[in-house]
Structure 1
Amino acid sequence: MNTNVFDGPQQDIPAVLMNRDRRVAKQSQLLRENPNQVLVAAKLNIPGPFKTSPLIRRFFEAGLHRLEDQWLVTG
């Protein structure tokens, strides 16, 4: 297993900003289309130019699964 957190593609600032704008647009669309629903956005704030890697993805997915499990327990 590769344990290097920053073993992924580099992102420059324009790409990071474009991804943010795309995420905001999608969230806005979802809220318009589903005005009576709650939108939960999960993301990681990763410093530096390496925003994703296999290890970061696994960490995110583990946290997301934990959140979903908690919703099932309390729902």
Structure 2
Amino acid sequence: MKTIFDEGKYLGIAEVLGEKDKRVKMQETIFKKYPNRVLVDVKMNIPGPIKNNQYLEMMFKKGINELEDIFLKNSLSYKLVASWNHDTGCENFYIVNNKINYVKKYSVKFEDKSELGRLFDADVLTKSKKQAISRRDLGLPARKCFICSHLAKECARSRRHSVEELQNYIFQIYRKIFKNQIKK
């Protein structure tokens, strides 16, 4: 049976690491223009060598709609300042005009709200902090693995689940949301 991971460009670790460098440069550029604002950098966590294709783009857009709805419903004033659609995945950069803890609270709500949101990372940063604010900084529990009940970081570090198992989980979410719209 065809899955959503049957198409797309195979990437190696060099491409993924190169994208991280570009992300940091983009964040620095944004903070030059908006030094006193909160930045929310949103991307999906996709295991394996294929990080982007038409199906993953559809999931990203649907997730972004959920995030923006949460922002609007909770009076978070935001502005999309950059958006990427690279082989390594889609990514949006938002400037939000609220306190960092408030923004992180609702970013976590988005990540935990639905099965789709659990596939996303919504990093919340300020220029003065050298790294994203963590759930622990707000006294919130760490993320759980979407396959089992262990901590997500533990599963990732130990490679407890195979790429195939993780991709199958993502494919099942896709099928639920988009009713198996896969081109033959």
- What is aligned with 1:5? 4
- Give 2:3's aligned amino acid: N
Any runs of at least 4 consecutive aligned residues in structure 1 with deviations exceeding 3 A, and if so which? none
- What is aligned with 2:44? 44
- What is aligned with 1:73? 73
- What is aligned with 1:29? 29
* Contact 1:9–1:50 under 8 Å retained in 2: yes
How far is 1:15 from its partner? 0.9
Between the aligned partners of 1:4 and 1:30, the Cα distance in structure 2 is 37
**TM-score, normalised via structure 1 length:** 0.86
What is the alpha-carbon root mean square deviation over aligned residues? 1.3
CA deviations over 1:10-68 (Å, ceiling 9, x no partner): 11111111111101110122123211111001011211110101111111111111111
Q: Which has the higher helix share?
A: 1
Which has the bigger relative contact order, CA under 8 A and spacing at least 6? 1
* Contact 1:8–1:53 under 8 Å retained in 2: yes
Gaps of 5+ in 1: none
* Contact 1:5–1:55 under 8 Å retained in 2: yes
SS at match of 1:39: strand
Gaps of 5+ in 2: 76-184
